[in-house]
Structure 1
């Protein structure tokens, strides 16, 4: 009960979020229109220039506008699910790919420095579960973010394993980051507990735990200083009606 109250108090109020989403829809629309102008002018300019370098640059500009439009669409679809609370059949496999796509810029930014984060996938099932897509995505995103941040200074490997055991779907997320001491590990699901100072709210993993449990699932965590952290989520498999 206490964790549910914490979640309600700290999440953005639904009505306020709807207003923000409606405002952002107009901004997204205008931005996409501007991208269309840039794309159109770059395409029209390609045959009019003689320099190969300039033509190649114009093609890159054109391709970049399409990538930006796709990124805007993906982001909008993601936040649009915030207040759409309906539950349906979801594929954890698809959610994993969607979350990794959202985080590729953060991973690439780390890899531009002196460290490197590699991602290893082992997926043997679609991982069909019944629930709210946005909430499931949010719960997995929180863990992925923690894993990446744990490896920002040292680099490492993010192992993602999705499997099925009888009527349960298992998702294991393991990083080779800095790991946690036992006293920290014992408190990670406490509200307002954070190791990130002013940068953190301490709510990410609390929200993840609540979401998993609301979907009749379980979440476990193991960690060792200097060796990394692993989270295991198991959820009831969705049985497709025949």
Structure 2
């Protein structure tokens, strides 16, 4: 994975250099685009690796879950609109304040929402629903109407370096998400049907002991 990215950066540099030498704008633009794409992927890969390898407890704060979800949907909303995907958020009024590490939980949820948008075709739907679960927990349900995950792959999607996106994925996004959720004493579950979509359910305690 890293080798492929480095090869992409090297290829982008080569094309951009040839473009500069020949003063061909098209080659310069192509090389620069390759550099940008591979540098962005490398950044994501490094951040995922750091997150996965970190052994530190969450830095808990009292957080508005509606505010946290709004930050995530604001970040990916433009992409969803561009792809013609309906992004829907439903947060129960009975649930808002929860104690968690906002930076890490935002990363965990963003991984799933971004994956859902990527897996969904134009005209599809991605939903984020937050509901109370008893008096002690909240349930975050993220669903899409995308391609779905084959049943024989469901047991492996949380394993490091496994990706349903081939060379486009780092293979660490979902393992990082699972690690963060479990560090919060929570639980993550997934259901999927090929051709119909995928649903992730994350259960988190409202307070931390």
TM-score (norm 2): 0.69
Q: Which residue of 1 aligns with 2:62?
A: 89
* Deviation of 1:130 (Å): 1.6
Change (3 A) 1:157 1:9: closer
Q: Flag structure 1 segments of 5+ consecutive residues without an equivalent.
A: 1-6, 14-82, 112-116
1:231 to 2:200 alignment: yes
Looking at structure 2, the residues matched to 138 and 223 of structure 1 have their Cα atoms a distance apart, in angstroms, of 22
Looking at structure 1, the residues matched to 178 and 129 of structure 2 have their Cα atoms a distance apart, in angstroms, of 19
Q: Which residue of 1 aligns with 2:119?
A: 150
**Does the 8 Å CA contact 2:159/2:175 hold for their aligned counterparts?**
yes
* Deviation of 1:109 (Å): 2.2
* Deviation of 1:123 (Å): 1.3
**Root mean square deviation of aligned Cα:** 2.5
Q: How many residues align?
A: 158
* Deviation of 1:120 (Å): 2.3
Q: Deviations over 1:8-38 (max 9, x none)?
A: 981279xxxxxxxxxxxxxxxxxxxxxxxxx
Q: Which residue of 2 aligns with 1:20?
A: none
**Does the 8 Å CA contact 1:189/1:206 hold for their aligned counterparts?**
yes
Q: Which residue of 1 aligns with 2:147?
A: 178
**Does the 8 Å CA contact 1:176/1:229 hold for their aligned counterparts?**
yes
Q: Flag structure 2 segments of 5+ consecutive residues without an equivalent.
A: 1-45
Q: Which residue of 1 aligns with 2:71?
A: 98
Q: Which residue of 1 aligns with 2:97?
A: 128
Which of the residues 86, 103, 117 maps onto 1:118? 86
Q: Which residue of 2 aligns with 1:16?
A: none
Looking at structure 1, the residues matched to 189 and 88 of structure 2 have their Cα atoms a distance apart, in angstroms, of 20
Change (3 A) 1:174 1:10: same
Q: Which residue of 1 aligns with 2:156?
A: 187
Greater C-alpha radius of gyration: 1
Looking at structure 2, the residues matched to 12 and 143 of structure 1 have their Cα atoms a distance apart, in angstroms, of 15
Higher helix proportion (structure 1 or 2): 1
* Deviation of 1:145 (Å): 0.6
TM-score (norm 1): 0.60
**Does the 8 Å CA contact 1:127/1:162 hold for their aligned counterparts?**
no
Looking at structure 2, the residues matched to 97 and 209 of structure 1 have their Cα atoms a distance apart, in angstroms, of 21
**Does the 8 Å CA contact 1:181/1:223 hold for their aligned counterparts?**
yes
